[in-house]
Structure 1
Amino acid sequence: MKVLVVRFSSIGDIVLTTPVVRVLKGQIKAEVHYLTKKSFVPVLEHNPYIDRLWTIEKEIDEITETLKGERFDHVVDLHKNLRTARLKSALQVSSTAFRKHNIEKWLYVNFKVNRMPDVHIVERYLDAVYRLGAKDDGGGLDYFLSPEDTPAMDRLPETHREGYVAFVIGGQHPGKMLPEHKIAEICKGSDRPVMLLGGPEDAAKGERIASEVGRTVFNAAGKFKLNESAALVRDAEVVITHDTGLMHIAAAFQKRIISIWGATVPEFGMYPFRPGAGSVHIEPQGSWDRPYSKLGDNKWYKPNFKGMEKIDVAEVLRALNQPPVQKAP
């Protein structure tokens, strides 16, 4: 069977689809093709369960005619929007998709009525391939790197070469990010060196935090490519992170994760999937009116959102500085 899996964006959402391609390849021996945006190729380029990776810059018309020639047997739609509807109509093959639960999310955001099923989005993705004969294999997420993705040791300060805490300071939307002073407080209270991770847009913020805290903090935000940052997450002792792409990459490496939540909530079903032992969620204290938005962009819902100010630094530090969880012999 020749199957096309479709997910255009973003980093975390694509990582969350990796169990689907694994079970398609491993359980039904499918020839697995994957369609995504070109900017997200690094997330999947080393995945051994994908036979061919297809990309678009923006519009589905860029590749529709080419994909018609591939004669797929089935499309697994893990994005489910107007573009994928047009693609499926053009390919004229059988398809399955997942349930987005947009009505339930709307009720939760606008009326604080939680009708969300207690099901992770990965399990909803896997439901889309059940009728093909593939099912949950009990594994977690996948993220594959090449040896070249590991940054050379001399790119790290000596203070961080024997172990560190990775702190992902960025986020796609403002309602998902801690204020700088909270990040600095957590870094000051850490019993280990801290490495700040994020994109170029987080570099200046990282510099301000590192300058305030001192040499125990290394600002790596904006200094490393995505897969280099993923390697730094892989090698961290523990990962503190907002609800963002590197959180899901950390889960793929089964790291102990301290995930921090603001405008969004874990009940949306996109919390770390099967992470390392001892992982915890930290949420604002006393914020009875969360979630404020579906994606974390609070502009349309609560311009004065201050939920991240209610994150208890002491709670984060208790989770961070506890002894490592011992694995069973």
Structure 2
Amino acid sequence: MGSPTRILVVAPSWIGDTLIAQPLLARLAARGASIDVLAPDWCAPLLERMPEVRRVIGSPFRHGDFAFWARRALGRALAQEGYDEAVVLPNSWKSALVPFFARIPKRTGFTGEARIGLLNNRHVLDKVARSQLAQRYAQLAEAPGSDPLLPLPQPRLCSTPEQQAAARRTLGLPLDAAPVILCPGAEYGPAKRWPVRHFADLARRLAQDGLPVWLLGAAKDAAVGDEIAALAEGMALNLCGRTSLTQAIDLLAGARQVVSNDSGLMHVAAALDRPLVALYGSSSPAYTPPMSSRARIISLKLSCSPCFQRECPLGHLKCLEDLMPEQVIETLNNVFHAHP
């Protein structure tokens, strides 16, 4: 029996998109491939918890960086790895440079941005037939012109009880708590964020029912977390900006339930199979839904949404302003009783 096919996957730059790519990795791994992933450092904790990934190679390029000569140097350094194939997930021209300079013989991706010379196993993207990003990525595991086998495998991150306990000890959190975790951030912009007062109202209602409430997010979400905690009159513990992504994974793994905007942490909670309520405003659940049977999506489906804008172009944000905490509570109860 020959050695496994060695594949280099060039990952996207967003946390959520990295998780959405895991079904593709699962399909490649099921065929016996050994998979390395070239990814930004901030996505590495996710990939390190995916059983399909052999090694994570840190990408020094930030989103939008061209850095032609640095990409050429990295590609030449990776040439000695002897990869059989590269799968390039971003659609930009520059994202295909490293595999090209690494002289990887089979370079797979979607045709776009004049990449004909850089990719030699090209797929044509049909956005209508492939409405979900996960399906688009998974198509790259097939021959060009072939459809991905549906249903796709669900993303799954590993988190052991020992890792969860270690994260809580480091952060000084009770080991026996089963919190409801609220994720109030969203990297893309304000039009994806449920209002602070709604999060605070939800936190108060949950705490009054005897449930511990933790707020989780990045450092840039710390001020919003402080505001929610203050409006909730101390009934929510703000952990925004206090954790690493690795610790956030292990905290979410131990959550009783999770309520999140459409964000990277929403996809993390889904990949950890936690009961999840996902709140959608300006974005589309048809494009990047949480891939979990334990997730429930709330979207008011207004005529003006999804608009995919960073800020509400109409100035009212009714898609989220009019989504009330009572509806979230009802959905939380339904999802928990269906999947305790």
Q: Structure 2 length as normaliser, TM-score?
A: 0.79
Is the aligned partner of 1:20 residue 2:20?
Answer: no
**1:73 is matched with which residue: 80, 84, 91?**
84
Q: In structure 2, the residue corresponding to 1:79 is in which secondary structure?
A: coil
How many aligned residue pairs are there?
304
Return closer, same or farther for 1:92/1:29 CA change in 2, 3 Å cut-off: closer
* Regions of 4+ moved over 6 Å: none
Contact 2:155–2:271 (CA under 8 A) maintained in structure 1: yes
| Partner residue, 2:93 | 82
Q: Retained in 2: the 8 A contact 1:166–1:239?
A: yes
- Supply the AA of the counterpart residue of 2:310: D
Structural mapping, 1:109-120, within 5 Å: 116-117=128-129, 119-120=131-132
Contact in 1 for aligned 2:130/2:136 (Cα 8 Å): no
Percent identity over the alignment? 22
Residues 287-306 of structure 1 correspond to what in structure 2 (within 5 A)? 287-293=302-308, 296-298=309-311, 302=313, 304-306=315-317
Gapped regions of structure 1 (runs ≥ 5): 101-114
Contact 1:255 1:275 in 2 (8 A): no
Aligned partner letter, 1:181: R
**Contact 2:182-2:213 at 8 Å conserved across structures:** yes
8 Å CA contact 1:194, 1:218 repeated in 2? yes
TM-superposition CA deviations, 1:18-63 (whole Å, max 9, x none): 22222322x2211211111123222212433222221221143351
2:277 aligned counterpart, secondary structure = strand
Q: Which has the higher contact order (CA 8 A, sep 6+)?
A: 1
Change (3 A) 1:69 1:244: same
Residue 271 of structure 1: aligned partner: 289
For residue 118 of structure 1, report the CA deviation from its aligned partner: 6.4
Contact in 2 for aligned 1:75/1:88 (Cα 8 Å): yes
Q: Structure 2 regions of 5+ residues with no counterpart? A: 62-66, 113-126
The 3-state SS of whatever aligns with 1:152 is helix
Cα distance in 1 for partners of 2:57, 2:327 equals 44
* In 2, Cα distance between equivalents of 1:76 and 1:137: 21
CA distance, structure 1, for counterparts of residue 322 and residue 215 of structure 2: 22
Cα distance change, pair 46–228 in 1 and its aligned pair in 2 (3 A): same
Match 1:176 to one of 158, 171, 192: 192
Please give the per-residue CA displacement for 1:176-198, whole angstroms capped at 9, x wherever unaligned.
Answer: 10121111122122232211111
Report Cα offsets for 1:251-294 as digits up to 9, x if no partner. Answer: 11111111001111112x21101242xx3211236x2111222x
- Counterpart Cα distance in 1 of 2:44 and 2:73: 16
1:260 paired to 2:272: no
- The residue that corresponds to 1:140 in the other structure is 154
Q: 2:141 aligns with which of 129, 141, 156?
A: 129
C-alpha deviation, 1:231, in angstroms: 1.1
TM-score for both structures, normalised by structure 1: 0.82
The answer for the alignment partner of 1:105 in structure 2 is none
Counterpart residue number, 2:263: 244
Kept in 2, the 8 Å contact 1:23–1:137? The answer is no
- Counterpart for residue 204 of structure 1: 223
Residues in 2 aligned to 1:313 and 1:227: alpha-carbon distance in whole angstroms: 29
Asked if 1 retains the 8 angstrom alpha-carbon contact of 2:22 and 2:155, the reply is yes
Residue type of the partner of 1:199? A
Please tell me whether the aligned partners of residues 6 and 79 of structure 1 are also in contact (alpha carbons under 8 angstroms). Answer: yes
Distance (Å, rounded) in 2 between the aligned partners of 1:148 and 1:291: 38
Return the offset for 1:200.
1.0
1:280: which partner in 2?
296
2: CA distance, partners of 1:275 / 1:78: 25
Pair 1:152-2:168 in alignment: yes
